Amino acid sequence: MCFTASVHPRLVSTMNIFGALLLASTVGGRSISRSNGLAGIVEGKTKLTFDGAGNFKVVSFSDMHTGERWGNGSWADWGPANDAATQNVHATVLDNEKPNYVVFNGDMMTGENVFASNATNYLDIVFAPTVARSIPFSCTHGNHDNADNINHQIEIEYEQANYASLSYTRSDAGPQPYGGGNYWVPVYAKSTDTVPAAIMWFFDSRSFVSGTGNGPGPIPDAANFYWVDENTVPQYIAAQRTLMEQQWSKVPPALVFVHIPVQKAQILAPLPSEGDHDDEPDPSTQGFLNNDYTGLDLPFWNEIIALNGGSDGGNVLAITSGHDHGESWCARSTDSSGIPICFNGHSGYGGYVTTHSAMRNGRVFELNLADLQGTVPVVRTWNSYENSTTNDEVVLGPDYMAQFN
Ligand SMILES: *[C@@H]1O[C@H](CO)[C@@H](O)[C@H](O)[C@H]1NC(C)=O
Ligand SMILES: *[C@@H]1O[C@H](CO)[C@@H](O)[C@H](O)[C@H]1NC(C)=O
Ligand SMILES: *[C@@H]1O[C@H](CO)[C@@H](O)[C@H](O)[C@H]1NC(C)=O
């Protein structure tokens, strides 16, 4: 077993034990696996499993933008009412969908408007309806979660310290404190399995928003990026993928979550797809610095293609983003190497709202074991709204938008 110089230095020490025997067993659903470098196999964490009917349902919420009262802008007065309304959206969607897992896909708060003394209280507000229903969850982090009085690392450490039993959020790779929320979480067909049936990957697209009233300052150099870190995260993905191939003889089908969409989303946006298209013609995406496209999001994107099993490999079921509140579609084409790119819409009453996105929503993914074990895996997805309706249901896989692939 040999690792090349491209392996991220932080991973090397854990990989040295790779030659050791893989020890794994389960007691009462608690995994006590030895990870052998597989960062998502976390000792003492309850294993996530498909239900008796072979389903595992994920609801993703994005762009909650809590905490807006404490800015001194025009929104100053209605923040707390908005936050209560956001909680109602989550409660309604969770009761209607009854998911096995919840993903908060970034911009949990409007960080430029919060105070350092209690910024993390806004995470409590965001998590409360999910915690009240005892649903496991994790987060990606958005550009508004990096601000003068809050950053991704503070949010991650607070979540780990206060929600240890339900939260699966980690920081495996990436620059601290503004871009370290990169990790994966396994989902098993049954709790005695050692090889997952699916993986959920979470990535940190960084960026920073300066304060408007509680300590406005310049953007720190270390935060002035609008894409997943190209120096550490691609290496992390490649190393983890290699370990999966070696230890499991496969890379399980994947759902991918990252707050700011990949740039290929702009190319797919004009294609006919169900869902909102309000932030077009140019939905904001990764890779831009001062309005110039840098291409520095591509090292990350190329590792997503590798996870997919190459162009048209079909192993990445969807890469889903928030950030553009007025986009809620899924599309795929040769421009995205056949990988479905999906948008969340938005569940928050904070932040901006567009013509068609006033009815807040979550995006649902229903993983099914039989669907995952076909020649090419597929996943069913739809939007679930606060008015208790659903819409835009599609099955993502080789048949979806086949005419563009
Ligand atoms: C944060 O602190 C302010 C007072 O400084 C308080 O009015 C506000 O309610 C607090 N927010 C939360 C979410 O606890
Ligand atoms: C908001 O706060 C900043 C910094 O304290 C101040 O410069 C600005 O004038 C304030 N804006 C309003 C609308 O009050
Ligand atoms: C619920 O909201 C959706 C999304 O805006 C809309 O398409 C639908 O017509 C609404 N249905 C009802 C019954 O209000």
Condensed to tens digits (0 to 9), the pLDDT of residues 140-189 reads 999 999 998 999 999 999 999 999 999 999 999 999 999 999 999 999 99
Q: Is 385 in the pocket of ligand 3 (CB under 6 A)?
A: yes
Compute, in angstroms, the gap from residue 280 CA to the centroid of ligand 1: 36
Mean pLDDT across the stretch 205-228?
Answer: 82
Q: Is 247 exposed, middle or buried (0-12, 13-18, 19+ CB in 10 A)?
A: middle
Q: 393 by DSSP, 3-state: which?
A: strand
Q: pLDDT (tens digit, 9 = 90+) per residue, 357-388? A: 999 999 999 999 999 998 999 999 999 999 99
Q: Distance (Å, rounded) from C-alpha 206 to C-alpha 336? A: 22
Indicate the pTM of the whole model. 0.90
Q: Is 353 in the pocket of ligand 3 (CB under 6 A)?
A: no
Ligand (nearest to CA of 74):
2
- 30-131+144-404 in CATH: which number? 3.60.21
- Ligand 2, atom nearest to 71 Cα: 1
pLDDT at site 15: 34
Tell which residue, 399, 260, 261, has the closest CA to residue 332.
399
Strand-by-strand arrangement of the 361-368 sheet: 137-140, 101-105, 55-61, 361-368, 379-385, 390-396
Q: Which among 357, 385, 390 is the best mutation to test ligand 3's pocket, defined by most ligand atoms within 8 Å of the CB?
A: 385
Percentage of the chain with pLDDT > 70? Answer: 87
pLDDT at site 217: 65
Mean pLDDT across the stretch 31-51?
Answer: 84
* Amino acid, single-letter form, for residue 160: Q
Tell which residue, 292, 348, 327, has the closest CA to residue 78.
348
Q: Give nearest CA residue, ligand 3 atom 4.
A: 359
Token pair recorded at residue 334: 């040769």
Ligand 1, CB cutoff 6 Å, lining residues: 115, 118, 121-122
Ligand (nearest to CA of 89):
3
Q: Give nearest CA residue, ligand 1 atom 1.
A: 118
Q: Distance (Å, rounded) from C-alpha 291 to C-alpha 285? A: 11
Contact 151, 168 (CB under 8 A): no
What lies within 8 Å, CB to CB, of 85 at 6+ separation is 349
Q: Which among 118, 121, 150 is the best mutation to test ligand 1's pocket, defined by most ligand atoms within 8 Å of the CB?
A: 118
Segment of 9-18, 26-35, 357-366 carrying the highest mean pLDDT: 357-366
Mean pLDDT across the stretch 284-310?
Answer: 96
Torsion of CA 223, 226, 227, 232, to 10 degrees: -20
Q: Give nearest CA residue, ligand 2 atom 3.
A: 213
- 97: enclosing H helix or E strand: helix 79-97
Ligand 2, CB cutoff 6 Å, lining residues: 72, 212-213, 216
Instruction: State the pairing for strand pair 330-331/30-31.
Output: unpaired
The residues spanned by each domain of the chain are 30-131+144-404
Q: Which among 115, 127, 155 is the best mutation to test ligand 1's pocket, defined by most ligand atoms within 8 Å of the CB?
A: 115
CA atoms within 13 A of residue 366's CA, in its CB half-sphere: 15
- Ligand 2, atom nearest to 73 Cα: 13
Contact 85, 119 (CB under 8 A): no
Q: Which among 353, 391, 392 is the best mutation to test ligand 3's pocket, defined by most ligand atoms within 8 Å of the CB?
A: 391
Q: pLDDT (tens digit, 9 = 90+) per residue, 247-279? A: 999 999 999 999 999 999 999 999 999 999 999
Compute, in angstroms, the gap from residue 342 CA to the centroid of ligand 3: 20
Compute, in angstroms, the gap from residue 387 CA to the centroid of ligand 3: 6
Contact 199, 184 (CB under 8 A): yes
pLDDT at site 396: 98
> What does each C-alpha distance from 117 to 114, 121, 146, 149, 306 come to in angstroms?
9, 9, 15, 9, 42
Q: Distance (Å, rounded) from C-alpha 346 to C-alpha 381? A: 15
